[in-house]
Structure formats: C-alpha cells, structure tokens
Structure 1
Amino acid sequence: MKIRFVYTVIELIIGFMALFIITKIIGRRQLSQIAPFDFISAIVLGELLGNAIYDKEVGIFYILSTLLIWAVLMLIVEMLTQKYSKLRGFLEGNPSIVIRNGLIDRKELKKNKIDINELLNLLRQKDVFSIREVEYGILEANGKLSILKKSKYTQPNVEDLNLQKKPVYLPVTLINDGEVLWDNLKNSGFEENWLQKQLQLQGFNNVKEVFYAEWKQDEGIHVVPLNINNANK
C-alpha cells in the first residue's frame, strides 16, 4: 500500500510538471477567452492524465508519452490555425453580429442557439438594460458579447456637461418573440388597445410581426420587427 502511494505521488508530480511544460509551450488564455476547441482539449488532456495516474497497469512512460503526443497534436493544430484562416474559423469559431444597426438579427440568434432572453442577459452583463442603446452587438467566439452603443448613449454623460440629472427608468418588456407579456403590460398601466395603437404608429398591424418590444417611461416604446427586412416600414 505504501509503495503504491509513493508511486502515485511520483506520477502526480511528473504529470503536474508535464502539464505545466505543455501549457508553457502551447500558450495560455484566460478562461473567459477560451475557445470551444481549447475547452475540449483541456478536458481530454485532464482525462488522459487522470486515467493514467489511477490505473495500476499504467506506468510513468505511458503518462509522458500520452501527454507528449497530445502536445504535438495541439501544436500542429495551433500552427494550422495560424496559417489557414478558414481552418481557424472552423476550430475556434467566428464572431457573429446579432445586433446590426440597432436591429436584432434573428437568424444569427438561431444560428448561435441563443434566444432573446439570453441576449438580454448578455446585454445586462455589459451594463446595458435596453436594446435601444445598442447600434451593434457582436457575439464573440468565446460566448461573450461586445457592443457598440448608439452615439446618444455614449460619453460624455450629463455630469461631464454639467447638465441636470434625470430620473432613471428600467425598461419593461412588453412583447417577447411575438408574444405579449400581459402581466408586464398591465403592471405598466396599459391595456391591449393602447399596445395596438402604439404598434400601428410604428407601422405594425399585428403583434405577430413584432419580435421584441419594450417600454421605457422617459423614452416610450421601442419595437424590434420580426423580419429584419421590414425594419424601414
């Protein structure tokens, strides 16, 4: 038992050193910047090392040779992605414009398998609580959202210009993916007739034509069309 314990400790130390060296050779990324392929590679590498250490029939040579082969494969992939841009996009993913000219691109949302609620969550993580503030939204390969705000929402702010501060209001979602959120509408003090009139003023005859709509007390209603081609109605 003691011999096996000592042997396991030796394997752990060697495995730790080997992983450290491989990490230094391949290069490091922040966890928030890790690409899907790198994430899978890290899981596989950890699994290989774990199985090698705790399998009694596996020796140190197997551990080192397995890690070496995997490191070589990773280096080959890294060189190929640096040389061929198309392969880089396939393995690491490409940025996707999910908000373009202030409009949500539903096709890009579906392509990236995220819904409107997830998009709103990503915006809130960027301290943006209303879609109307965003001119462009780019979903990066690592799943993070980069945004470019509309000019009226960028610096300088009211304090920079010594202007009087105004109350801040939280936007309320009224229509989500073509469905009216009746509780939100009622809690905002409005009824169906009011919503229909507001949509007609925006050029929409039916709720089903609307992908997303929100109400903000100081700026009114903001409507995102279901079909991006009808944005200039």
Structure 2
Amino acid sequence: MEMVFRAIAIYLILLVVFKIAGRRALLQMTSFDLILLLIISEATQQALLGNDFSVTGAMLTIVTLVAVDIVFGLMKKYISGAESILDGSPVILLENGLPLSDKLKKVDVSCDDILVAARQNHGITEFSKIKYAILERNGHISIIPVESE
C-alpha cells in the first residue's frame, strides 16, 4: 500500500512542478532540458520504489500511475473547469500582427519563439503576416496567418 501512496504523491508533485514551470518548458527542449529530465526520472524512480526493486513493486507503481492518469482524464471529461485547472487554457500571444506583451510575459514566451513557429509551420518571417499566434495547452504555438486577398 505504501507504493500506491508513493506513486500518487509523486504524480501530484510532478503535476504541480510542471504546472509551475509552465508550458514554455514543453515548447523547445534543449540538451540541458534533456539532462534535467533524465535526472528527474532517476530521482522519481528512487522515490517511487524506495528499497523495493521487485517486479511486483514496479508493476504496482506503473498501474497506480496509469490509474491516477485515467482518473484525471475522467475528471477533465466530466467535471466542468477541471481541464482548464489541470492543463490551462490556450493563450493568444499575438493579434493582428501585434504582440500582447502582458500575455507573453505571463507565459514566458518570447517574440522569437513565435517567429520560429511561424517560419517552421508557414514560412512566415514577419509579425504583420500573422493574424493570431496562440500558445496551446500542449505548449505548441499555433499560427493563423493573415488571409491573402
């Protein structure tokens, strides 16, 4: 039973930590981010399993983590507002070619991040050709170009 409580506690703390870190952390991974992720996974493994390195202990931990994830998925589906609390909501970063600096600061996204997404997805190199840039729940930036007439 201790492993179940460990798994739930680790799941919740990771949820909170990544919520605080923000979606920008998902936007682009650097080599340092990869190293940090590996360190977090190692620390998480030790916290989840403690001194129990049995296959049964690992299976119980995995089942618990998946079950908690399923419960959160059901909460998002059936409880109004749960998805916004757990995953956040999309944020408009740029509107009609003008960056919304207060929102950019709030989500820690730079104008360069928007231009990278615009170049990669649409070949756009200027803000004036972007109608909307939206930071999605998954950390990606969606670009809606100005319609050419």
**Does TM, scored on the shorter chain, surpass 0.5?**
yes
The percent identity for this pair of structures is 22
Output the aligned Cα RMSD: 3.1
Deviations 1:39-96 (A, max 9, x none): x9xx7699439x75xx875222211221222222111111101112422112222111
**Which aligned runs of 4 or more in structure 1 are off by greater than 4 angstroms?**
43-47
Query: Measured at CA, do residues 61 and 102 of structure 1 come closer, stay the same or move farther in structure 2, by a change above 3 Å?
Result: same
Query: Measured at CA, do residues 46 and 71 of structure 1 come closer, stay the same or move farther in structure 2, by a change above 3 Å?
Result: farther
TM-score scaled by structure 2? Answer: 0.61
Cα drift, residue 134 of structure 1 = 0.9
Q: Any gaps of 5 or more consecutive residues in structure 2?
A: 1-25, 27-36
Query: Measured at CA, do residues 77 and 45 of structure 1 come closer, stay the same or move farther in structure 2, by a change above 3 Å?
Result: farther
Instruction: Write the letter of the residue equivalent to 2:107.
Output: N
Alignment partners' CA distance in 1, 2:90 and 2:52 = 45
Alignment partners' CA distance in 1, 2:71 and 2:42 = 16
1:128 matches 2:132: no
TM-score scaled by structure 1? Answer: 0.41
1:61 matches 2:65: no
Q: Any gaps of 5 or more consecutive residues in structure 1?
A: 1-35, 154-233
Which residue number corresponds to residue 45 of structure 2?
A: 48
The 10-residue stretch of structure 1 (91-100 or 143-152) with the greater mean CA deviation from structure 2: 143-152
- Hey, which of these two has a bigger chunk of strand by percent? 1
Which residue number corresponds to residue 137 of structure 1?
A: 133
Alignment partners' CA distance in 1, 2:53 and 2:83 = 35
Query: Measured at CA, do residues 79 and 57 of structure 1 come closer, stay the same or move farther in structure 2, by a change above 3 Å?
Result: closer
The aligned length equals 111
1:72 matches 2:67: yes
